[in-house]
Structure 1
Amino acid sequence: MTQPNIAIIIGSTRDTRFADKPAAWLLENAQKRDDMRFELVDLRDYDLPLFNEAASNLWMPSSDPRAVKWQQKLAEFDGFIFLTAEYNHSVTGSLKNALDQAYKEWNHKPAAAMGYGGVGAARAIEHLRGIAVELQMVPLRNAVHLGGGDFFKVSPLGANGPMSEVEANLKPALDAMLDELLWWTEATMAQRAKTA
């Protein structure tokens, strides 16, 4: 079996987003493993329109070339880690739109998450799991939550310190999430190959 290829999708596109700091930390720590490959995928790079297709690409090909480019990128991956903020107790609008712009490319692949904010984006990640089920993904139990005092230690809203200040608190959750991600990625890759 080939080594799983995992996308770390940055789910915020705001000019003043905090996502870049935890994204760099997540990628650096994930890349210490030798059993999966990781790539940052930034929604800023895809200029996705608001979903305006006649139907999901489950039913008919998308017409907007920006959506098609996004779908082609997603098809390269065997699993996903979504890095999300929490906007009004849910995922960012840009992330929800990106999820809606594809369908087949998400199917039968695991969905992990890291969230950040006052409560570690716990409610956003719960919503993300429900969306993932509808996209026929495998939402993972384990997630990384950068919240509370740890969030304010590293956020510009607080002390704006380096991620190393909170790494000891986040690393056990990250390890558990990546171990679970590997298990489900290998299982779904095997089954997708069997039924292709």
Structure 2
Amino acid sequence: MNLLLASRWLDAVPGFLRTTTATARPRVGFIGTASSLYPDPAWLEVDREALQGFGCELVELDPTSPEFAADLDTLDAVFVSGGNTFHLLHVFRTTGAEQALIEKVRAGLPYIGVSAGAAITGPDIEPVSLMDDATETAPLDSTEAWGLVDVVVIPHADGIVGGTQVVDDTRTRYADRFPLLFITDDQAVLVSDGSRSVISS
């Protein structure tokens, strides 16, 4: 598997795509589902512009579409944006898109996740409950997440988004129950060929 799990900024994306895709203009599926709760998620346009600036051809993906699994076969990589992690998991789980994406990533489709898109790849999303409001979306039967990595990536650990108190409280409440990996907004977790490292982004 090849994953790039960022907190906020995307500077590590070009290098990641150069090493994981075979084309100069990779076709990247853009999944903005985590932000669909909000009337004006300005960060989505920031991400789109950044990816296009890196030379990506963006394809908007909707996990509620019956063509979602087939659409994944047309991509060089997939990008999952930030927003509400609980909403993201709810949509993927209730539509059946969850298993399709997990299978493709495990089979080698490069995955880029930012904030919520990073947190959902771990074993459980309960530890992000102090950053994201679970009541903004429908209740989940389980907060068990995708299990693509063995840690819960906690973004925004520098406190620029949301403040430092929520970061400290997350560590205090959850560090003894879950393997947490805190990253700042200029960091990302790179997962490649079974190894994991924190890099600049």
TM-score (norm 2): 0.45
- Kindly indicate which of the two structures has a greater share of residues assigned to helix: 1
Please identify the structure whose Cα radius of gyration is greater.
1
More strand per residue:
2
Bigger relative contact order (CA 8 A; separation at least 6): 2
TM-score normalised by structure 1 residue count: 0.45
